[in-house]
Structure 1
Amino acid sequence: MSEPLVLAATDGAVRTLTLNRPHALNSFTAAMHAELRAALDAAANDAAVRCVVVTGAGRGFCAGQDLNDAAMAGDDVDVGEVIERLYRPLALRVRSMPVPVIAAVNGVAAGAGANFALGCDIVVAARSASFIQAFSKIGLIPDCGGTWLLPHLVGRARALALAMTGDKLSAADAQAIGLIWQCVDDDAFADTVKALAQRLAAMPTKALADTRRAIDTAAQLSYADALRLEADLQRELGRAHDYREGVAAFLEKRKPTFRDR
């Protein structure tokens, strides 16, 4: 039996999903997409999971689409159909997870692999990692959400330059321009990711997921409508256990125990 293309491991309330094609820098195939989607669905449906970490096996995070995969075979391949069938569902699944998702970028993240990482809630990268918008090198545009993510994260000027040149961006530079949350030394990378994941898993999970929802939705709303959305979400959260527990713990000067999801 062949080895799984996505490895799943659970440590307490943290589920770690590892892309497992190290010989190909974990580049995407249709089969790996299927396993990754199934693993994300399983984490979403498991009430014991309160944070998901996605990382890569070996020296890469994900080098994007494997151009040797059957999904890309033939001179008449419909690349748009591949996006609709594989990448759009993956990007939307990550953004709809009921728990926070950390991209632990351990090595090169290129093409769709880079944008898959950027679509996660928090990106932590090892100092030796890099990000490459490799699409222009093969006559394509950024996909897996890249056309939306890049300008929202770093502005139009930087988004266009990164996408058009396809230049490699170091993890340190990615942090400096606001593309990712944190660049850490390689020897501290694993411990940093673990500590962050455990911290998020102990926080009010539903509020964290609704924070993502509010920020993503507000980007397309007027200021007045964003304020209305805030009120709607606060109304719902204010009636939940975690709000009452958080207030009680604050007043009683103790550590809260959150459980909503």
Structure 2
Amino acid sequence: MTGGARREYRTLLTDVTDHVLTVTLHRPDRLNAFTPRMMDDLLAVLDEADREDEVRAVIVTGAGRAFCAGADVSAGGGSFDHRETGAWHRDVGGRLALRLYASTKPVIAAINGPAVGVGASMTLPMDIRVASETARFGFVFARRGIVPESASSWFLPRAVGVQRAMEWVATGRLFGAGEAHAAGLVLSVHEPDELLPAARGIAREIADNTAPVSVALARQMMWRMLGEPHPMTAHRLDSRIMSQIGGGPDPVEGIESFLAKRPPDFPGRVSSDMPPIYPWWEEEEFRPLDEGRERRP
């Protein structure tokens, strides 16, 4: 990505401008329906974004009139038949959600049209969601005889509360951008031509004014504190991180640029300058729920 060189993806278009990586889901003839190939491409582009210090923020949007119309079910009634892999089957949307959760770069969803099924649930681990007035949302899993995927049973109630989440999931109904905004699912709603400029405005605010290491740490602190039962855990963590970074070059530049009333030029890089405590968590490994247990009826 650095210097304008970009990897080619089969289902995505990518562009890096002014430290912002824009990723466009690009299957417009299929309303950007989600496939395992798209998952692979998105995992790869997120890996690239994390490696490249040139990238300060990521925007994800869709080509054409849809964001993502959900899983590609062109295989017909057997589209969700995973009996061959059995207990070791891994939901492809869930693999993407977990990778987004682990990102060191903030991710902004610019939802330009219908976002249904995995098209809606894939946005939940993104940090900020903005929507076009033409956007429509639907957690339609119960209307397809399946269950919420992309780990959305974890993410969605945390975004909008369990009551609203359950109403959307239990009915599987479609709803508009206004309702999504009122519930807190999206930050703001824009006319179609103003959607990407709004997303880029947020991304540029990050890229132009903040320390990359600070943003990467803050992103993980925020997400990983969601499951903690007491604020003392956060106090211990932020105290430890502050003890490791407070005397470094980024805080010096932050204060000196503020006092001099000039734009900051933070020297820290996510690829090389994260504090010793990072990562402070143990990675979870995928294991089937029934591994090592007797099956229950």
User: Once superposed, what is the RMSD of the aligned Cα atoms?
Assistant: 2.3
Matched, 1:147 2:190: no
Inter-partner Cα distance in structure 2 for 1:235 and 1:113 = 41
Residue 234 of structure 1 and its aligned partner are, at CA, apart by 2.6
Inter-partner Cα distance in structure 2 for 1:122 and 1:253 = 29
Structure (1 or 2) with the larger CA radius of gyration: 2
Q: Deviations over 1:199-255 (max 9, x none)?
A: 222222221222221122222112211221221233334244322211111122222
Residue 186 of structure 1 and its aligned partner are, at CA, apart by 1.5
Inter-partner Cα distance in structure 2 for 1:189 and 1:152 = 25
Inter-partner Cα distance in structure 2 for 1:46 and 1:75 = 36
Inter-partner Cα distance in structure 2 for 1:45 and 1:23 = 32
CA contact (8 A) 1:99 1:206 kept: no
Matched, 1:40 2:46: yes
The partner residue of 2:252 within 244, 249, 258 is 244
Corresponding residue of 2:101: 95
The partner residue of 2:126 within 117, 120, 130 is 120
Inter-partner Cα distance in structure 2 for 1:239 and 1:171 = 44
Q: Which has the higher helix share?
A: 1
Assess, with a 3 A threshold, how the Cα gap between structure 1 residues 259 and 128 changes in structure 2: closer, same or farther: farther
Alignment of 1:1-261 (within 5 A): 4-68=10-74, 72=79, 76=83, 84=90, 86-202=92-208, 203-221=210-228, 222-260=230-268, 261=270
Inter-partner Cα distance in structure 2 for 1:65 and 1:118 = 16
Amino acid at match of 1:127: E
Amino acid at match of 1:201: A
- Mind listing any 5+ residue stretches in structure 1 that lack a counterpart? none
Amino acid at match of 2:103: M
Q: Deviations over 1:103-137 (max 9, x none)?
A: 11111111111111121011111111011101010
Q: 3-state SS of the aligned residue for 1:118? A: coil
CA contact (8 A) 2:117 2:138 kept: yes
- Mind listing any 5+ residue stretches in structure 2 that lack a counterpart? 1-7, 271-297
Q: 3-state SS of the aligned residue for 1:117? A: coil
Residue 81 of structure 1 and its aligned partner are, at CA, apart by 5.1
Residue 176 of structure 1 and its aligned partner are, at CA, apart by 1.1
